[in-house]
């Protein structure tokens, strides 16, 4: 972290009033095809409120498609996805609200290039959450400070390092007061020296009770912050276990083979 210690209260409204573990994201018998290609095969996955689930698996196993389906950036062909007790809406205002409830942080940051850092963080809250500009700016500045980039607020994304841009992307997701945040390989596009500054912010979020689904091969993050590791291969969930159990004694040959490759990297 470059400046101010990211505060202890990164989350504006910690989910302390509800029982941790109550189902927040529930996938039931989900199938997804791209043409003839069966990319998600009968996926059943429940993520409890406050839970941090790390998804790992070989390239092409369907990890991104899983995240994108939960945010309805992709449609599924069968099965159901529920967020906080409601099925995914298919369009209109309900879909915009869902996108606000389900934050997403991508590998490539996806900030708006022609908006300042602060505008990137305030746009959604003003348009979708109907916050006043003033309120959105105040909250946005608070979040930018907490992820350590408050002094970059008036700059444009291209003027920031990758690590800084990714922390802005996390602040942008948080600005919507999401119920869950999906991270799809958030550190894979970063230079090695910037990975930890982003992981530190994510670890803090996890410790503060944010519900997170994180596609990452960062084993340190999984060991420190994850409640559960989900291993996918060929569109299927092959294993689910606590991080230590999974890393030390995977049960399937696919997982053993995958771990031997990434751990000796
Ligand atoms: N828009 C698309 N159209 C057609 N096929 C797609 C599309 N997106 C993904 N696929 C295919 O679906 C499968 C799952 O892709 P996905 O991107 O979900 O995998 P992944 O596990 O995220 O892989 P990686 O680790 O490389 O990011 C792959 O075979 C991929 O080629
Ligand atoms: Mg992917």
Counting from 1 in the atom list of ligand 1, the atom nearest the Cα of 66 is: 18
In the prediction, which pLDDT does 265 show? 56
pLDDT, tens digit, 9 for 90 and up, residues 17-41: 334 579 999 999 999 999 999 999 9
Let me know: does 48 contact 21? Beta carbons within 8 Å: yes
pLDDT at 105 over 80: yes
Residue nearest atom 3 of ligand 1, based on CA coordinates? 34
Residue nearest atom 2 of ligand 1, based on CA coordinates? 34
Percent of the chain with pLDDT over 90: 84
Cβ(63) – ligand 1 distance below 6 Å: yes
* Mean pLDDT calculated for residue range 204-219: 95
pLDDT at 53 over 80: yes
Global model pTM greater than 0.85: yes
pLDDT at 96 over 70: yes
CA distance 231 to 38: 17
């Amino acid at each position: 972290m470059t400046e101010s210690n990211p505060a202890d209260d990164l989350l504006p409204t910690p989910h302390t009033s509800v029982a941790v573990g109550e189902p927040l994201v529930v996938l039931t018998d989900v199938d997804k095809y791209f043409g003839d290609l069966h990319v998600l095969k009968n996926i059943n996955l429940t993520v409890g409120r406050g839970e941090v689930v790390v998804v790992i698996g070989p390239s092409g196993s369907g990890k991104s498609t899983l995240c994108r389906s939960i945010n309805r950036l992709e449609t599924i062909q069968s099965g159901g996805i529920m967020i906080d007790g409601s099925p995914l809406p298919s369009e209109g205002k309900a879909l915009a609200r869902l996108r606000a409830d389900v934050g997403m942080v991508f590998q490539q940051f996806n900030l708006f290039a022609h908006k300042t850092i602060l505008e990137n963080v305030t746009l959604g809250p003003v348009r979708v959450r109907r916050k006043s500009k003033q309120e959105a700016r105040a909250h946005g500045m608070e979040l930018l400070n907490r992820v350590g980039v408050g002094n970059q607020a008036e700059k444009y994304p291209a003027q920031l390092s990758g690590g800084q841009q990714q922390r802005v992307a996390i602040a942008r997701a948080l600005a919507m007061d999401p119920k869950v945040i999906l991270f799809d390989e958030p550190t894979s596009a970063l230079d090695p020296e910037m990975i930890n500054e982003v992981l530190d912010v994510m670890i803090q979020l996890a410790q503060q009770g944010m519900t997170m689904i994180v596609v990452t091969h960062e084993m340190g993050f999984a060991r420190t912050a994850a409640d559960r590791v989900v291993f996918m291969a060929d569109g299927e969930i092959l294993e689910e276990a606590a991080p230590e159990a999974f890393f030390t004694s995977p049960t399937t040959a696919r997982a053993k083979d995958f771990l031997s490759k990434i751990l000796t990297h």
